Structure 1
Amino acid sequence: MPEFAAAPFAFEVRSLVEVVIIYGALLLSLIAMVHCAVQKPDAFNAIGTLTKGTWLGILAISFALATLFGLFGGARFFGLIAIAAALVYLLDVRTGIKDIGGSTY
């Protein structure tokens, strides 16, 4: 009988991990969108990446999908996509903009 007691705990842990993933995705996407919105468009051309509008579109769509399907649906996969898009922006594009001195903050 004790082996069945672990099953409810496992589902609680899984639910907690899913909540952390979706809220983390929303927070990272929001931070990335705000950073992208306040940058100069020329900075994106200077580092040789996608344009500012393209990055804003990617980040906004990933944020919207994570919100719609993560919070109101059951597809946590879109939360992982949002995390990936935000991390690519923050770790690649943001650091490139910072390196050339084009960052506003």
Structure 2
Amino acid sequence: MVVAAPLFYITVTNVVTYALTLVCLIIELFAFVNCLTQRADAFQIVGRIPKGGWLAMTGAALLVTLLFGSVRSFLGLIAITVAAVYLLDLRPALRDAVDGQGSW
């Protein structure tokens, strides 16, 4: 019975890591597709980084997660942070700029 405990621990760890990686891939894919479909002139209104820069960053984040497949690494944390910054900071500002409801 004592021998089965480490195997169960490894299985649970692998399932949780797989689930976190899948969630991160979905978030990063959504950020990349959303960035791809936005108008390029809205990026100039909102911030300093143009559309190509955000496409490169969100695409690289998606690629890093696909290649390394782990959120537990330092690069994986940077990748999900890039996608989160785009989705939580830039996406609402782009939506306001396109709709004309923003402060600019």
Which position in structure 1 is the counterpart of 2:55? 56
| Contact 1:49–1:93 under 8 Å retained in 2 | no
Residue pairs, 1:1-105, within 5 angstroms: 2=2, 4-70=3-69, 76-77=72-73, 78-102=75-99
Alpha-carbon deviation of 1:52?
0.4
User: Which has the higher mean CA deviation after the structures are superposed, 48-57 or 76-85?
Assistant: 76-85
Structure 1: tracts of 5 or more residues without a match: none
Q: Structure 1 residues 41 and 9, CA, compared in 2 at 3 Å: closer, same or farther?
A: same
Contact 1:21–1:80 (Cα < 8 Å) also in 2: no
Moved over 4 A (4+): none
User: Using a 3 Å threshold, how does the CA distance of structure 1 residues 49 and 90 change in structure 2: closer, same or farther?
Assistant: farther
Change (3 A) 1:84 1:64: same
Alpha-carbon deviation of 1:76? 4.2
- Which residue identity lines up with residue 98 of structure 1 in the other structure? R
Asked if the contact 1:22/1:76 (under 8 Å) is kept, the reply is no
Distance 1:95 1:46, change over 3 A: same
- What is the TM-score when the length of structure 2 is the normalising length? 0.81
Q: Which runs of 5+ in 2 are unaligned?
A: 100-104
Equivalent residue of 2:38, what SS? Answer: coil
Report deviation, 1:36: 0.4
Query: In the superposition, relative to structure 1, how do residues 47 and 15 fare at CA in structure 2: closer, same or farther (>3 Å)?
Result: same
Aligned to 2:102: none
Per the TM alignment, residue 45 of structure 1 is displaced from its structure 2 partner at its CA by: 1.1
Paired amino acid for 2:35 = C
Q: Partner amino acid for 2:24?
A: A
* RMSD over aligned Cα atoms: 2.2
